[in-house]
Amino acid sequence: MRALVQRVSEAQVSVGGAVIGEVGAGLLILVCAMQGDGPEAADKLAAKIAKMRIFRDDEGRMNRSLLDVGGGALVVSQFTLAADTSRGNRPGFSAAAPPELGEQLYHHFVRAMAAQGVPVATGRFGADMAVALINDGPVTIWMDT
Residue 35 one-letter amino acid: Q
How far are the Cα atoms of 3, 15, 17, 19 from residue 142, in angstroms, in the given order? Answer: 6, 25, 28, 26
What is the spatial distance between Cα 143 and Cα 145, in angstroms, rounded to a whole number? 7
CB-CB neighbours of 100 under 10 Å: 8
Positions marked active-site: 78-80
Provide the β-strand partners of residue 96. Answer: 34
Cβ 31 vs Cβ 109: under 8 Å: yes
Nearest-angstrom CA–CA distance, 67 and 89: 41
